[in-house]
Structure 1
Amino acid sequence: MREIIRIGMDTSKHIFVLHGIDAEERPVLRKKLWRKQVLEFFAQLPPTVVGMEACGASQYWARELCKLGHEVKLMAPQLVKPYVMRNKNDGRDAEGLCEAMGRPSMRFVPVKTAEQQAALMLTGLRDGLIARRTQLSNAIRGYAAELGLIAPKGLDKIEPLLARIAQEESLPAMAREVFAVQGRQYAVLQAELKQIEARLMAWHRADATSRRLAQIPSLARSLQHGW
């Protein structure tokens, strides 16, 4: 087999399709692999450049291929699409990836470490909890308003509102029970968010890349206001 300079790899849950070219841009590799065969195949291959779409488990495969000495280039799907021929299939997808990664104007997605990936997971969890807290606080305000209890805007006004509700003996017992449940849920969300934000800040202080990014004024302001 002639030396392979680039391989486009179309990934899926079970079948991976490879398209490789030589220095003269001629196809020298067209291959399908089962998931369990991928690392074994690349372990036997001289170091080369592998291109994949940045989606699904691409970060995992990128890290594993880098461990085997290969260079991995991840590309956003929308940037690869123009290079895929008509009558789309896995083979043409792999060929399109191989073509796209060779373009001088192509922009690539950085390969993340497992630690960076974990930090993104934690950030995603935090965003989800914030959305739930916002939804819950809006529900508390709405229910309270229907019973004649109004609170100023701001998350810092929710706990005082719940305290007022707890002391309002004129409210129906069922309404008081609902607010009590919401109050407990709100307290749990607040505690979880506090722990997550402390963990994210600790990671940020320990990560050199994150600290460098924090030198950008807009990002620095975000950190000062709790991400």
Structure 2
Amino acid sequence: MKVTTVGLDLAKNVFQVHGVTHEGHVVFNKPLRRAQLLAFFERLDPCLIGMEACSASHHWARELSKFGHEVRLIPPIYVKPYVKRGKSDAVDAEAICEAVTRPTMRFVQVKSVEQQAMLSLHRTRELVVRQRTQLVNMLRGLLAEFGITLPQGLEKATGFAREVLDGSAPDIPEIGQDVIRVLCRQLLSTDYLVRWHDLRLQAVARADHRMKLLQTIPGVGPVTASAIVATIGSGRQFRNGREFAAWLGLTPRNNSSGGKERLGRITKMGDQYLRKLLVVGMTSRAIQVKVRPDKGDPWLRQLLERKPFRLATIAMANKTARIIWAVLTREEAWTPRPA
């Protein structure tokens, strides 16, 4: 019997494969060791392979595609309804095999090694930014216990750290001074790592054509542009800008029934990192408009006059997401419409 569809449940060492024919008859449902996986699919005739989208799924999708197979990645949340009962590798592989054949199923685009490398740069940057924030908070908290207040702002904290390492120690016991020196040294080292990541992202954004196009959009800088291209590539997997905004979780949650339309808060589904970058960028734009209304976008100025600040920034992020999709798919720079 010829296998036409395979559900592959990924793991670290032991994988589960579930194969069926065109009529739906089960041909195999068995575990495979990691070393056996590629050899197994190399012997198999080209077929449709479904996998849950995860950190390692893009690697395996690229490897299995070399054998002529059609590989589709499914968000795990869309596989769960096809799990019949219980939790095991065999049940999960069967559910994946069933879900991948659904005509209305939504799939995740397979990322290239270049996209994954770029995303690794973003993930490490996000890590060191969190560590830097933790160090500043710890430094400020310890100094407050001795009655020393550290002004708000990152520049104030790094400036204080440089002064301490230059010999200007606070008037506290020697043990406390040693602890403060260690924190200051670690803070400056972490701040250097953040700046290195920013410079690396800026260099990549200057060299990539699509990232340069995205940076023509107000509120989109090198970090946001590189993250978007690394995550969605050309953006053609989305049919329109509204679908991209919905994927980011920037559209209202629909709870309609009986012909009555009820729209709630945004869904916050999809990529949390991209959504955060867009909201932060639009928050910066909104602050600029409030400070300098004469130089801001008239539409944005009117929106801030009518709506609460946070609601307005979310609406701006929604609109920017649609503009991003249009810029990527049309491969044209953003041009503002005349007022």
Which TM class, normalised by the smaller chain length?
0.7 to 0.9
Matched residue, 2:139: 140
Q: d(CA) in 1 for partners of 2:21 and 2:209?
A: 38
Matched residue, 2:105: 106
Q: d(CA) in 2 for partners of 1:162 and 1:73?
A: 50
Query: Alignment identity in percent?
Result: 42
Q: d(CA) in 2 for partners of 1:16 and 1:103?
A: 23
For the 8 Å contact 2:125–2:197, the answer to whether it is kept is yes
Q: Return closer, same or farther for 1:46/1:127 CA change in 2, 3 Å cut-off.
A: same
Q: Return closer, same or farther for 1:103/1:40 CA change in 2, 3 Å cut-off.
A: same
Ranges in structure 2 where 5+ consecutive residues have no aligned partner? 226-276, 278-339
- Structure 1 length-normalised TM: 0.84
Greater mean alpha carbon deviation, residues 72-81 or residues 165-174: 165-174
Q: d(CA) in 2 for partners of 1:212 and 1:91?
A: 46
Q: d(CA) in 2 for partners of 1:39 and 1:64?
A: 8
Q: Return closer, same or farther for 1:13/1:207 CA change in 2, 3 Å cut-off.
A: same
Question: What SS does the corresponding residue of 1:149 show, helix, strand or coil?
Answer: coil
Matched residue, 2:86: 87
User: Cα distance, 1:169 vs. partner?
Assistant: 6.1
Question: What SS does the corresponding residue of 2:49 show, helix, strand or coil?
Answer: strand
Question: What SS does the corresponding residue of 1:167 show, helix, strand or coil?
Answer: coil
User: Cα distance, 1:220 vs. partner?
Assistant: 4.2
User: Cα distance, 1:86 vs. partner?
Assistant: 0.9
Matched residue, 1:183: 184
Matches within 5 A, 1:18-97: 18-97=17-96
User: Cα distance, 1:31 vs. partner?
Assistant: 3.9
For the 8 Å contact 2:202–2:223, the answer to whether it is kept is no
Q: d(CA) in 1 for partners of 2:72 and 2:204?
A: 26
Say what the alpha-carbon RMSD is for the aligned residues.
2.8
User: Cα distance, 1:212 vs. partner?
Assistant: 6.3
- Which residue identity does 1:176 align to in structure 2? Q
Matched residue, 2:300: none
- Structure 2 length-normalised TM: 0.59
Matched positions, count: 225
User: Cα distance, 1:215 vs. partner?
Assistant: 6.5
The structure whose RCO (Cα within 8 Å, separation 6+) is larger is 1
Q: d(CA) in 1 for partners of 2:18 and 2:213?
A: 37
For the 8 Å contact 2:48–2:69, the answer to whether it is kept is yes
Matched residue, 1:9: 8
Matched residue, 1:174: 175
- Which residue identity does 2:134 align to in structure 1? Q
Ranges in structure 1 where 5+ consecutive residues have no aligned partner? none
User: Cα distance, 1:164 vs. partner?
Assistant: 5.6
- Which residue identity does 2:172 align to in structure 1? L
